[in-house]
A and B are shown apart, each in its own frame.
Chain A
């Protein structure tokens, strides 16, 4: 067994679980999906149809879904990275009180059952005068609006829902990363005369880079894969004029709702390609694939 302990072999043993899991559980399904994207899949009648699925998928709803998913991804990154980052720094600060309680409070949304969160949000953003958000609008002298019926307001509500639900989790990521920054760095900076802002900008932020890259990457993926939130808000995959239709929503509609698994698979392959390309570009930019660490 001595060979198991060799330094050369160690990395391979460390990554072995992933390689096994990949081979057993993913290679076949992903290949299968890829193959299905070239077929029309019906029980007893599955047959190859070449590129037909790929040709057929570029319709209006595809562009709507792509646009919606892209908008959503963009806004969630803009909101759900700086905001939790800042909040994490505040919560971590020595000047903060009862931060444990607030951390927990901000985390609760992630735990609330999807079903029930939907009921509450649908009612809070309801279209009648009496709904909570419309009442707030009245306070400021604005009129009642039908929040879930318009493209802009619909997207706004989605972003609010996402922020409400996931800010707490991103705070958790950033807070854990903040612990890896030694206090001495801050102390010596203070001695050198740095103020809070400078410390944040030149110590905290750069040292949070690895985790920020992580959060950005999963946010890009998460943004394009978003489905549940839209499903919750419109009680199903049926927002008016498809204002809430996302890429996965589209996939679900074709693959499951209309039983067009071949087309659904093709959409899946396209989606995967898009997210992969965006993330590889983003990661290259941040130097993740460089030889040196």
Chain B
């Protein structure tokens, strides 16, 4: 029927008009705006992240900035995308040269990808170098290439160990007496004997059990030049030790495979194991998913293989970068400095996000001991404890091959060594060999 045809065409036409209408309003380019804006005219900055809390943080920092610097106000448009995909999106935008935001969060396991070729970011040396001694520089080295710093991290991610005091008490173990990994093993056997519970769980599909131990033992997956050292002696020592714990049932593979699995939370919450070693940022998992352990968890430094080794390391992390597609590099840099490099910004990071900030002179600020949900759960004095570890935070080498190495650890090495119990040397040699 002609009418049906005409109706359909009309509908198609109308839809296109409606859709075209929807598209026009958000494409204002600030092409004409320069970095020097007239006092009071807000400059638009776009920020992509994958964590709503980060978005809220930046939004609150924008308000503080606008209050402190009314002549150069900022209008922040922040969007939270799903984790993996925000990186995907950013990569596509940077590769195609268009469509990237002014600022973006990049997680540490992904930054290697963006450092390949010419990094499409604005160097941040001029806001970093003046305060070098007050920052945990290893965190900035992770996001650097050829002497240029590109990303500012939210936190140190100091590695610690969390003990379930209730279980330790039941076995008669004092956490402070565990200094070396041999002590840990002995305590573990005691806990197993007295309570029947494993001393700890190990990740078989993720890297947080293995990596900090390797780094604190003096090695790493890659060396300073980015070469693969995954199968060196240091790595082998750690993997052999971990496998020994599993064989003795002192450690069991984490239910669900890793410490962010739903199955793990339920297990640990029910008192399934006596300890877990993860970075400081894991505190949030306890408060959010393991409510029944409130008041029962104590935080201690990691054991060492021998005296003199560092008892902590910087694990995980998310750096905020400024892309080279921004039209307001100066303003963006100043804003980033305000939000994440300054002392006040870093105190806010603890208060709002519960992260251990990268600015060491913030740690001793009294504001850090104010009550919040973390102090309610774990007790006060978290930063006094952290301050004592200040000089023992081992750095890691984050290079272009990091994503590839992470990948092989997560999909093969851990599982083969700690679940299938294959020979550690063979597993590591295999893994190292497969990285091109």
Contacts and interface: CB of A to CB of B under 8 A. Distances in A.
Direct contact of A and B (CB under 8 A): yes
Interface of A: 41-45, 56, 59-60, 119, 122-123, 126-128, 131, 146, 148-149, 234-236, 238-242, 245, 253, 256-259, 261
A238 B205 contact: yes
Contacts of A146: 419
Nearest to A257: B403
B205 A43 contact: no
Contacts of B404: 258
B414 to A, nearest CB: 8
Given A42-B117, A238-B411, A256-B88, 8 more contacts: A60-B434, A127-B256, A128-B255, A240-B412, A241-B416, A253-B407, A257-B407, A261-B95
Contact of A131 (B113, B204, B263, B416): B263
Contacts of B205: 234, 238-240
The size class of the interface chain B forms with chain A is 35 or more
B268 to A, nearest CB: 12
Contacts of B407: 238, 253, 257-258
B112 to A, nearest CB: 8
Interface of B: 84, 87-88, 91, 94-95, 97, 110, 113-114, 116-118, 120, 204-206, 255-258, 260-263, 267, 403-404, 407, 410-412, 415-416, 419, 434, 436
Given A43-B118, A256-B88, A259-B91, A122 B263 contact: yes
Contacts of B260: 235
Nearest to B430: A60
A44 B204 CA distance: 38
23 contacts: A41-B95, A44-B117, A44-B118, A45-B117, A45-B118, A60-B434, A126-B263, A128-B255, A146-B419, A149-B419, A234-B205, A238-B411, A239-B205, A240-B205, A241-B411, A241-B416, A242-B411, A245-B411, A256-B87, A256-B88, A258-B403, A259-B403, A261-B95
B211 to A, nearest CB: 15
B433 to A, nearest CB: 11
A56 B88 CA distance: 23
A240 B417 CA distance: 11
Nearest to A45: B117
A240 B261 CA distance: 14
Nearest to B401: A258
A35 to B, nearest CB: 14
Given A253-B407, A257-B403, A126 B256 contact: yes
B91 A127 contact: no
A128 B88 contact: no
A126 B88 CA distance: 30
A161 to B, nearest CB: 16
Contacts, number: 87
The 3 nearest A-B residue pairs measured at CB: A42-B117, A259-B113, A240-B415
B61 to A, nearest CB: 29
Contacts of B410: 238
Nearest to A242: B411
B84 A236 contact: yes
Instruction: Name the residue among A60, A123, A259 with the largest chain B CB count within 10 angstroms.
Output: A259
Instruction: Name the residue among B118, B206, B415, B419 with the largest chain A CB count within 10 angstroms.
Output: B415
Contacts of B117: 42-45
Contact of B262 (A119, A149, A253): A119
A148 B91 contact: no
Contacts of B120: 43-44
B160 to A, nearest CB: 24
A146 B261 CA distance: 14
A43 B260 CA distance: 34
Contacts of B261: 122, 235
Contacts of B412: 240-242
A43 B114 CA distance: 9
A175 B261 CA distance: 40
Given A127-B256, A258-B403, A149 B95 contact: no
Nearest to B409: A238
Contacts of A148: 257
B116 A42 contact: yes
A253 B435 CA distance: 13
Given A127-B255, A127-B263, A240 B118 contact: no
A224 B415 CA distance: 26
Contacts of B416: 241
Contacts of B263: 122-123, 126-128, 131
A146 B257 CA distance: 10
B415 A123 contact: no
A42 B116 CA distance: 7
A126 B261 CA distance: 10
B129 to A, nearest CB: 25
